C-alpha cells in the first residue's frame, strides 16, 4: 500500500478505536467487526463486503507494531496539511483518456489507485523549477443502464445521458479567461507545496497562496468562475462488451466528472441491468433454452433447429432421450471475455397434446396395447412399493 493511501485512510476510525488504543483493544474491535461484516453473514451485501475489506486492511496495519508506527508517523507528517482525500489524486495516471479499457471493465475495484507510486517519493523528488501542479482529480460518477438480454450477451453500444460537471467549454478547463492563462504560483513554484525548515527538520505543507493547486488565475473565466468546470448534460456512447451480466459494474476510465482546472477526470461506473428474454436464460457463460418436444420425438429421436444468439443450430435428440435431459451444444453460448464462448444448454421438455383428432387418438390406443405387449412398464421400479 502506498503512503498516499495511508494518508487518506483513517484506520483507527475504521475499527472504531482511539489512536491510543492498545494492541488488545485493536484485536477485540477487529474480531467483533470481522464477525459482523463477514461476507458469509451478509450474503449479497456489497456495502458490508466493502466495510469488511476496509476493516481487514486497517487491522493488517494496526495489528503490526512496526507498520502501525510507520502509519502513525506518516499521518503525523501530514496532519492538518490539507492532504485530505483526493488532494493528491493520480495526476499523471488518469489523463483525459477516452479509451474504453477492456482490461478494467470487469475489475471494478481498481478505482482509487492510479498506480503512481507513493506520495512521499513524488513530493521530495520535485525540483524547484517544476511548473506543473497536481490539481484535484474529478470525482467518479455512478450511473446505470438497462440492456436487453441479447444486447448484454452479445455486446452493444449504448448512449448514456448524464448531467455532470465537465470541463468548461469556454476556457477548456483551465479556469482562465480565454486569451489569458494561469500563471505559475511564485510562492511554491508550481509545486503546490512549500517547505519550512525548523531546526534539523524540514516540513512540507500545501501552499496557501494557490491552495495547493500550483497556479494562480488573475483573470478568471466568466463562465465557470475560474474553476474550469461547467455542469453539462452530455451523451456519451459506451461500448458494453459481450457477456456482461445483470448487476455488473463497468468502469470507464476518464469519463467521470472533470477535474478542477484541467485536472484528470474521474471515472464513470455503469451498473448494468439485464432484462429477461422469452426464449433464453443464462447460467454464467452458458446460454440455457427449454426445447419443447413431443413424446414420439423423444422415443424415435429427431433433429430440431433451435435459435442461438447468432443464427440457428440443429440439435440432435437421440432416440430414447428422457424428458428433462440437457443436451449441450458447445461454443454456442455467451461470448467470453477472453474469447470463445460458453455452451448452449438445451433442456428437452415433452409437450402433451390437449386435443387430438380421432385418427391420432385411435393410433395412440393401438400404440398403448403394443407398448404393453412389448413389456414396457413405466412403474417397473416400484415393484413391491
Distance, CA of 152 to CA of 157 (rounded, Å): 10
CB of 29 or CB of 168, closer to Zn ion: 168
Please report how close the Cβ of residue 231 comes to Zn ion at its closest, in angstroms. 12
Size of the site for Zn ion (CB under 5 A): 12
Number of Cβ atoms within 10 Å of the Cβ of 47: 9
CB of 104 or CB of 223, closer to Zn ion: 223
CB of 265 or CB of 321, closer to Zn ion: 265
In contact, 350 and 293? CB cutoff 8 Å: yes
Distance, CA of 182 to CA of 46 (rounded, Å): 43
The residue to which cell 503512503 is assigned: 3
Candidates 51-59, 76-84, 166-174, 328-336; binding stretch for Zn ion (CB under 5 A): 166-174
Please report how close the Cβ of residue 167 comes to Zn ion at its closest, in angstroms. 8
CB of 209 or CB of 277, closer to Zn ion: 209
Distance, CA of 95 to CA of 117 (rounded, Å): 16
- Over the window 178 to 197, marking each residue x when it contacts Zn ion by CB under 5 A and - when it does not, the resulting string is -------x-xx---------
CB of 111 or CB of 187, closer to Zn ion: 187
In contact, 158 and 286? CB cutoff 8 Å: no
C-alpha cell at 373: 405387449
Please report how close the Cβ of residue 311 comes to Zn ion at its closest, in angstroms. 52
Among 145, 170, 181, 248, binds Zn ion (CB under 5 A): 170
- Pairing between strand 156-167 and 229-240? antiparallel
In contact, 89 and 65? CB cutoff 8 Å: no
Candidates 7-15, 91-99, 152-160, 168-176; binding stretch for Zn ion (CB under 5 A): 168-176
Touching Zn ion, residues 198-217 (CB under 5 A): 207, 209-210
The residue to which cell 463497468 is assigned: 250
5: alpha, beta or left? (left if phi > 0; alpha if psi -120 to 50):
alpha
Please report how close the Cβ of residue 122 comes to Zn ion at its closest, in angstroms. 17
Please report how close the Cβ of residue 171 comes to Zn ion at its closest, in angstroms. 3
CB of 182 or CB of 333, closer to Zn ion: 182
What is Dmax (Cα atoms) for the chain? 109
Among 58, 171, 252, 348, binds Zn ion (CB under 5 A): 171
263: alpha, beta or left? (left if phi > 0; alpha if psi -120 to 50):
beta
Strands (E), 148-285: 156-167, 183-184, 193-198, 201-206, 215-216, 229-240, 249-252, 268-274, 280-283
Among 26, 221, 287, 327, binds Zn ion (CB under 5 A): 221
Among 29, 152, 168, 250, binds Zn ion (CB under 5 A): 168
Is 346 a residue that touches Zn ion (CB under 5 A)? no
Is 263 a residue that touches Zn ion (CB under 5 A)? no
CB of 163 or CB of 374, closer to Zn ion: 163
CB of 188 or CB of 250, closer to Zn ion: 188
Distance, CA of 232 to CA of 229 (rounded, Å): 9
Q: Closest Cα to residue 30, out of 67, 63, 75? A: 63
Candidates 78-86, 135-143, 161-169, 247-255; binding stretch for Zn ion (CB under 5 A): 161-169
CB of 184 or CB of 315, closer to Zn ion: 184
Distance, CA of 208 to CA of 188 (rounded, Å): 9
Please report how close the Cβ of residue 96 comes to Zn ion at its closest, in angstroms. 16
Residues in the chain: 385
Task: List, in sequence order, every residue forming a beta bridge with 270; answer none if it has no partner.
Answer: 143, 250
Torsion angle (degrees, nearest 10) of CA 59, 62, 63, 69: 160
CB of 58 or CB of 188, closer to Zn ion: 188
Distance, CA of 336 to CA of 102 (rounded, Å): 12
Among 224, 258, 287, 289, binds Zn ion (CB under 5 A): 224
User: Where do contacts with Zn ion occur on this chain (CB under 5 A)?
Assistant: 168, 170-171, 185, 187-188, 207, 209-210, 221, 223-224
Amino acid at each position: 500500500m502506498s503512503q498516499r493511501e495511508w494518508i487518506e485512510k483513517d484506520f483507527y476510525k475504521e475499527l472504531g478505536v482511539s489512536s491510543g488504543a492498545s494492541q488488545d483493544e485493536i484485536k477485540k474491535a477487529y474480531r467483533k467487526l470481522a464477525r459482523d461484516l463477514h461476507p458469509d453473514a451478509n450474503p449479497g451485501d456489497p456495502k458490508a463486503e466493502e466495510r469488511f475489506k476496509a476493516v481487514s486492511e486497517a487491522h493488517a496495519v494496526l495489528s503490526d507494531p512496526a507498520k502501525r508506527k510507520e502509519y502513525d508517523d506518516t499521518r503525523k507528517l501530514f496532519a492538518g496539511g490539507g492532504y485530505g482525500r483526493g488532494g493528491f489524486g493520480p495526476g499523471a495516471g488518469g489523463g483525459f483518456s477516452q479509451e474504453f479499457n477492456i482490461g478494467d471493465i470487469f475489475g471494478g475495484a481498481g478505482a482509487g489507485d492510479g498506480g503512481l507510486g507513493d506520495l512521499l517519493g513524488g513530493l521530495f523528488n520535485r525540483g524547484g523549477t517544476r511548473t506543473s501542479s497536481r490539481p484535484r482529480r474529478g470525482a467518479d460518477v455512478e450511473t446505470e443502464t438497462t440492456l436487453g438480454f441479447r444486447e448484454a450477451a452479445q455486446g452493444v453500444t449504448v448512449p448514456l445521458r448524464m448531467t455532470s460537471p465537465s470541463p468548461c467549454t469556454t476556457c477548456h478547463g483551465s479556469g482562465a479567461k480565454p486569451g489569458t492563462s494561469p500563471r505559475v504560483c511564485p510562492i511554491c513554484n508550481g509545486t503546490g507545496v512549500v517547505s519550512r525548515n525548523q531546526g534539523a527538520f524540514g516540513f512540507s505543507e500545501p501552499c496557501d497562496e494557490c491552495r495547493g493547486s500550483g497556479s494562480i488565475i488573475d483573470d478568471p473565466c466568466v463562465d465557470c468562475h475560474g474553476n474550469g468546470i461547467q455542469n453539462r448534460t452530455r451523451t456519451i456512447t459506451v461500448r458494453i462488451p459481450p457477456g456482461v451480466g445483470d448487476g455488473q459494474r463497468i468502469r470507464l476510465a476518464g469519463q467521470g466528472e472533470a477535474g478542477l482546472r484541467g485536472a484528470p477526470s474521474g471515472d464513470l461506473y455503469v451498473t448494468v441491468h439485464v432484462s429477461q428474454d422469452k426464449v433464453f436464460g443464462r447460467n454464467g457463460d452458458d446460454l440455457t433454452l427449454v426445447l419443447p418436444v413431443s413424446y414420439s420425438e423423444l422415443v424415435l429421436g429427431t433433429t430440431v433447429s433451435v435459435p442461438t444468439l447468432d443464427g440457428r443450430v440443429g440439435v440432435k435428440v437421440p432416440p430414447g432421450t428422457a424428458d428433462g435431459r440437457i443436451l449441450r451444444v458447445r461454443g454456442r453460448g455467451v461470448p467470453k471475455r477472453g474469447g470463445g464462448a460458453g455452451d448452449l444448454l438445451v433442456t428437452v421438455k415433452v409437450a402433451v397434446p390437449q386435443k387430438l383428432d380421432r385418427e391420432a387418438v385411435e393410433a395412440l390406443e393401438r400404440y398403448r396395447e403394443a407398448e404393453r405387449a412389448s413389456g414396457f412398464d413405466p412403474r417397473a421400479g416400484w415393484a413391491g412399493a
